[in-house]
Structure formats: structure tokens, C-alpha cells
Structure 1
Amino acid sequence: MTASIDLRVWRQFLAVAEELHFGRAATRLHMTQPPVTQAIAQLEKAIGVRLFDRTRRSVALTPAGAALVPEVRELLARAQALPARARAAAAGEVGRVRLAFVSTIGFERLPAWVREFRALCPAVALELVEATGDVQLEALARGEIDAGLVLHSPGAAPAGLACLAVATEPLVLAVPTQHPLARARQLVLDDVLAEPLVAFPRRILPSVHDAILALYHGVGRVPEVAQEAIQMQTIVNLVSGGLGVAWVPESVTQFRRAGVVYRTETEFAAQPGRRRAALALPGCETSLVWPAASDNPALARFVDFVRERGLAQ
């Protein structure tokens, strides 16, 4: 007999410990007394420790027996809770979701989601890590995260993954406060495209990077990249320092950095040869992505949670 995992024996031990009487313990367990007495004797033999002092008139716990009582109570309580916990885990009510995210979704929307999801599913551990899209895809491939919130051009989500679009937004122009473009009533695209550019490397946002390049190539220009940076906050800081202008997702405007002005597409003058319709700047989309074959019920719960909130424009 392996006493440490035989729950029936531990239930018998606890009944005797609480009743301090083998007959009453047996009645409580709906048993006769001899099997209970025999089970306790076998338990003591298996662990090599006397748990009860017995006389004809009394039963008392030894110090070793008394020390086991709270541990056995906890063991039995946890064992009793296991079926309910298994059902909760299967329903995604307990578990773990390792979620990576790009900084742009972290300015406002993600904190609200985390707060609400933790209130709805307090037994699900939501582990967050900020990472660029390329790092997220590598981590997903290695099984190091369960899902990611990635940025890409509309309709250009990473292939080979389940995908749920959660936000769309235009790009805006970040300009140093002291630059003439910051004060111009209207912006001329040719003037903007002639400015040095602070940009992100293609590897971290290939589809958005290509859309920005297409904006330049469409009017016969090649961008003069003054500096590359990975994090959007760093890009904005470099713009503040006067290194150039930058195209960033509109959500970045929530990062209020002194020395930077954000200009939107409605502030651009119509291009020559076009009607006065507003200039159409590239946009971007944020999607929740995860392995389609994932069998993590907690992740499925989180995906449903995000899906219920719909696509935020």
C-alpha cells in the first residue's frame, strides 16, 4: 500500500483523528470498526510512524498524527475539488494564456481588455510580453507564446495562423514641433516625402513598410531613411530630436511626447491632377493570431472574449 496516495486511508485517518474513537469513526464512514482499525494499523506500518496512542478506554493523536491532520484536510479538500477544476479547465475558466503584443495596441485597448478579462476569468493567468511582429511569429513557431497581437497592412495578416482582426487605423505623420511642416495649414505630399525619414526595419512590419515605400514610389521618390528604430516610442523620440519625420499608426498619438506634432491625412492638400478628395494614406490593422491547432481551452476563451468586442475602428 502506498499511503501517500491512498485517499481512502487518509479519509479513515482523518475520521479517527477527529472522532478520537474507532467506533464513531467507522459509523461516520458507513463502515464496521475492524476494517478501520486494520487500515490505520497498515497506514502506520507503511509510513513507519505511530499516529495514535490507543488504550482500552481512549484514543489520542501522537505528535506525528496531530501534525498530519491539517495536511490531510487540505489534501482531501484539494482532491474533492479536482473534478470541478477539470471541468473549469476544459471550459477555459482556469489555465494560462501567454500573450505577446505590439506597443500600439498597448496604449489603451489592451489594458482595458486585460482588466475586463481578469474580472471575468480570474483563474486564467494572462501573461503579457511586448514584442515586435517578427519576434512574435518566431515565439509562436517555438510554442513559447499562445497568441500574439500583431500589426500589418489591412488584409495582410501572417499566413498559417488563425486570425481575428481587432482594430484598423490610418497612418499619421509625426513631425518635429519646430519644423515648418508642423505649422503649415495644409501639407503637400511632395514636400513631406522629401524630408528625412525615421522608419522601422522591414523585418518587423513588412507589409506596412512596403505600403509606405509604395507611397513614395507612387510619386517617383525613394525615401531618405535617416534612422531606423524598432519601438514606436523610440521612433517618436527620434522625431522629437529633429532627425526626421515618421509615419506611425494613429494609436501612437496617445504617446504624448513633447516636441512632436501629429498630422493626419485630412490635413494634406489634394495632389495635382486629382479632385479635392482627401489624400488616401496607407492604413494598418491589428490582428490577434494563434496556432489553428491549439488545444488550449483558456486561449479559446480569450479569443471568444476578444471576438465579442468586435472590430474597433
Structure 2
Amino acid sequence: MELRTLRTFVAVAEELHFGRAAARLHLAQSAVSQQVAQLERDVGVALLARTSRRVELSRAGEAFLVEARRTLDAAGSARRAARRAAAGETGWLRIGFVDSAAYDLLPRLLAAFHQRRPEVRLELQELSTEAQLEGVGDDVDVSITRDTDPLNGVELTPLVDEPLLAAVDDGHPLAEREAVDLAELAAEPFVLFPREHVPMVYDHLVAVCRLAGFRPREGAQALQYATMLGLVTAGYGVAVVPAAVRVVGSAHVRYLPLRDPQATSRLAIAVPVGRADQLATVFRDLARDLAPSIDALLDPLRGTRETPG
């Protein structure tokens, strides 16, 4: 039993005339008669009562008509659902992100995506950059990463080069400065992430400090930015954090722009090369479109090359 046969039967049942049903379907009347006859053989009962002057539905035909319409409606819904999913209008998207993206970029991006694709369901997973890159395309469909090294099989789209800020406690000698050079922190202990936890972020910070002429000396370790800032307040050292982290409020932490041009941290979006699905592509393109407006908001936090006062 095929959908076209059901459509033919419904047309005959609604027109109660083989000729009009054939014209409606753009078929020969003989083809309509053959399809209805084959349908009745498949069902095993007469669906139509025919006379030389008229066509009527049998009781079986009336019951069959209800279900035939329901089946055609369901098939139409299935077709529309498949086409909408293929176009990225519906479906399921798994998004991985680093925790610092949740302070600024991610909320803006999720709100904009929901406006454009309100019927798409999102699964959010907070993961390190390394964990995301290992699972992109398998465990997550798209990833928001930080300070990412190129990786085979992953397509990276740069989004924002965030300025890095020095975080010091409010009693620190530099706390009242408008901006500082990174080299002014060379003698300070640093609160750092463990390298084994986030090697890319760790190595990026070390590289930034080396360009300023020193290697950061570890005073304490933390696994989250909130913990890092708590340890700064407790006097365990200073920290260098992305600008987005400044929203983690503390009355005893001062965030100081760094004048060093290399003192930036890049957020990027990652999808698997050659097998990103439609929704992941839509999400990536939206992130790329939003990035310039977010980047502009960070201009006041970019240090200048003025001589420290």
C-alpha cells in the first residue's frame, strides 16, 4: 500500500466521481480506477459502492477514509520535519565550552541563536579546551575553546582576542594603577592552573610572560577562575586572566589592563573538518557574526603603551 494510492482513494472519496478525481490528480481515469481496485484487493473489502450513475463510500470506505487522511497527514508532517531538520531549523545541538566563555560570549551567543532557531534543543557541556578537541564531532558538535593550538581534523574559527588583565588584591602596591606592564609582575608569585589540567592555556600564559622577559613563578594552583581569584585575595599571588573573568566580582580584587601587545587570549570556535552538521555550521557562523561587536566592548580594557605613572 503506497501513499500515492491513498491519495488517489481520498480524491475519489471526496469527489465521489472517478473523472473529477482523475482531473484533480492529473491522471487518466483508467489509472485511478486501477489504483482503487488494487487498494480494495489489498484491504480485502469493498471501499466504494459503484453504480452506473454514482459512487458512494461503503461503511468500510468511510472508516478507511479517516485513517487514510491521518496517514497522509502524518507522512506530510514527517516530510516537513525532515526538511526543517536538514535546513537547521530543528534538531539537537551539543555545544562544548570553556568556563570563561560563559561569563560573556556564550550568553550572548545562546540568546541570539535561540532567536534564530527557537525549536533547536541545546545540550551544553562545560569542558576544558583539550577535552573538547578530543570529542568534537563525537561527544560535542561544536566547541568554544581558548588559546587553541592547530589540530588535525578540527577547523578553528577565531572569534575574539580578549585582553589579558592582571588580577591583584586591593592591598597590592599596584592596585591603584590604571594599567601595568607585565614585566612589573615578574617578581610576584602567580596563581596558575595546573599544566596537566589545561596545557594550552598554561603554555600560552608562559609564552606571553616570556615575551615580557620572565617565566611566571608559581605561588599556588587553582582549577577554576573563581578559586584563582580567591587565592589572589588571600595573598597567594597575582593572576593573569582573560577580560571576561572580570565579572567574577570581589570587593578585594583589582583588574589592571596590561600594556603588553601580546597579552591577549583567543577564543575560537571548533567544528570537525568535513563533517560538521548543519546546526553546528549555523552556530559557528552566528558566533563569527557576533564576534566584532563583543570585541569592540573590550577596547577599554586594552592597555596602552604609556609610561607607567
In the superposition, the TM-score normalised over structure 1's length comes to 0.71
> Aligned equivalents of 2:146 and 2:194: distance in 1?
14
CA shift digits 1:5-45 (9 cap, x unpaired): x2211211221333345454334324455543442343344
Alignment partner of 1:264: what SS? strand
One-letter amino acid of the counterpart of residue 283, structure 1: T
One-letter amino acid of the counterpart of residue 228, structure 1: A
Aligned match for 2:284, one of 284, 300, 303 = 303
One-letter amino acid of the counterpart of residue 113, structure 1: L
One-letter amino acid of the counterpart of residue 129, structure 2: G
* Counterpart position of 1:275: none
CA shift digits 1:37-56 (9 cap, x unpaired): 442343344355x4836364
Residue 151 (structure 1) shift: 0.6
One-letter amino acid of the counterpart of residue 68, structure 1: E
* Counterpart position of 2:108: 112
Cα separation, partners in 2 of 1:301 and 1:218, compared to 1, 3 Å: closer
Mapped contact 1:176–1:260 kept (Cα < 8 A): yes
* Counterpart position of 2:194: 201
Alignment partner of 2:275: what SS? coil
> Aligned equivalents of 1:79 and 1:183: distance in 2?
62
* Counterpart position of 2:99: 103
**What CA RMSD, in Å, does the superposition of the two structures yield over aligned residues?**
4.0
Mapped contact 2:132–2:143 kept (Cα < 8 A): yes
One-letter amino acid of the counterpart of residue 306, structure 1: A
* Counterpart position of 1:166: 159
Alignment partner of 2:217: what SS? coil
One-letter amino acid of the counterpart of residue 287, structure 2: V
* Counterpart position of 2:272: 291
Aligned match for 1:264, one of 256, 263, 281 = 256
Residue 188 (structure 1) shift: 9.4
> Aligned equivalents of 2:78 and 2:210: distance in 1?
65
> Aligned equivalents of 2:215 and 2:142: distance in 1?
38
Aligned match for 1:147, one of 119, 142, 165 = 142
Aligned match for 1:223, one of 213, 217, 229 = 217
Residue 250 (structure 1) shift: 1.1
Cα separation, partners in 2 of 1:204 and 1:65, compared to 1, 3 Å: same
Q: What residue ranges of structure 2 are gaps of 5+ in the alignment?
A: 297-309
> Aligned equivalents of 2:104 and 2:166: distance in 1?
20
Cα separation, partners in 2 of 1:285 and 1:195, compared to 1, 3 Å: same
* Counterpart position of 1:274: none
Residue 264 (structure 1) shift: 1.1
- Larger deviation: 8-17 or 218-227? 218-227
One-letter amino acid of the counterpart of residue 223, structure 1: R
Cα separation, partners in 2 of 1:80 and 1:198, compared to 1, 3 Å: closer
Residue 203 (structure 1) shift: 3.9
Aligned match for 2:42, one of 46, 58, 65 = 46
Cα separation, partners in 2 of 1:244 and 1:135, compared to 1, 3 Å: same
> Aligned equivalents of 2:26 and 2:177: distance in 1?
89
Mapped contact 1:176–1:240 kept (Cα < 8 A): yes
Q: What residue ranges of structure 1 are gaps of 5+ in the alignment?
A: 267-277
> Aligned equivalents of 2:205 and 2:32: distance in 1?
79
**Number of aligned residues:** 287
> Aligned equivalents of 2:121 and 2:135: distance in 1?
18
Identity of aligned residues (%): 32
- Larger deviation: 9-18 or 209-218? 209-218
In the superposition, the TM-score normalised over structure 2's length comes to 0.71
Mapped contact 1:136–1:148 kept (Cα < 8 A): yes
